Amino acid sequence: MPAHSTGKGAQAGDLVLFFPITTKEPEKARFAVEIPAIERRRAGLDADRPLWIISSASPSI
């Protein structure tokens, strides 16, 4: 996953992660997280439309 330091004003260890977002519902075999409506609104995205973060790798917990 891409990662980027927050730069100016960042504290040591701060990290910003960028993830691709899609409106396409994931296949059952893929790891995906639906973005909650409250978070879609906070980000200025369409809160009435389901949005997903899909990963090609399964999480290792």
Sign of CA dihedral 23, 46, 18, 39: negative
- Position 1 scores a pLDDT of 44
Contact 51, 39 (CB under 8 A): no
pLDDT digits (tens, 9 = 90+) for 3-27: 544 456 667 778 888 888 999 999 8
* pLDDT classification of 41: cutoffs 50, 70, 90: very high
Question: In the chain, what is the straight-line distance between the N-terminal and C-terminal CA atoms, in Å?
Answer: 17
Q: What residues does each domain of the chain span?
A: 17-61
* Eight-state DSSP code of residue 14: -
In angstroms and rounded to an integer, the radius of gyration of the C-alpha atoms of the chain is 14
pTM: 0.61
Mean pLDDT to the nearest integer, 31-57: 91
- Position 16 scores a pLDDT of 85
